[in-house]
Amino acid sequence: MTETTVAARRSITVNATPERAFDVFTAGFSTWWPLESHHIGETMATEAIIEPFAGGRWFERDADGNECNWGFVTEFEPPSRVLLAWHLNPEWGYDPDPEKATEVEITFTAVENGTLVELEHRGFEKHGETGAKMRDAVSAPGGWTDLLEMYAKAV
């Protein structure tokens, strides 16, 4: 196994039902995603949207209505799972090639004190040597750990 095949895995337990946790993550994506820092468009995004169906888009929209795709919804299984194709390359630009997309899978499991939310970002090997840098970036401060903390506060 090469270093780039290692997935970024994070989890957090939120004080909510799986239905609520799933809804805040997907339909409420803009309520917790840090649009001022985590956008790829030339101007700051005002919305981040996950369309609620397989084949839907995962994208940002700015105040003027300009949209930048991040990827697509591969599977949408409320309230237990969503699988997203991440079409951002290691330079944080959109790449429409499905062969280059990594995957972000989020599962929602009822536990005694709420819902365990587990996120796995995988497939970095598709980017060769730069895939490890991408994995390190999403695993670093400002990456998935911090994003899940923001999400938990919104729940």
Residue 5 binned pLDDT confidence (cut-offs 50, 70, 90): low
Name the average pLDDT for the chain.
95
The one-letter amino acid code at 15 reads N
Contact 90, 63 (CB under 8 A): no
In the sheet that holds 57-62, the strands lie side by side as 8-14, 114-122, 102-111, 81-86, 67-77, 57-62, 45-50
Strands annotated E in 7-66: 8-14, 45-50, 57-62
Measured N-to-C along each axis, helices 144-154 and 129-139 cross at an angle, to the nearest 10 degrees, of: 40
* HSE (side-chain half, CA atoms, 13 Å) at 57: 11
Residue 113: pLDDT above 90?
A: yes
Tokens coding 39: 């956008």
Query: Which residues 6+ apart lie within 8 Å of 140 measured at CB?
Result: none
Beta bridge partners, 120, equal 9, 105
For the entire predicted model, the pTM comes to 0.94
The one-letter amino acid code at 65 reads G
Tokens coding 152: 């938990």
Q: How far is CA 18 from CA 35, 104, 110, in A?
A: 25, 18, 6
Phi, psi of 56 (to 5 degrees): -70, 165
Residue 116: pLDDT above 90?
A: yes
Residue 49 binned pLDDT confidence (cut-offs 50, 70, 90): very high
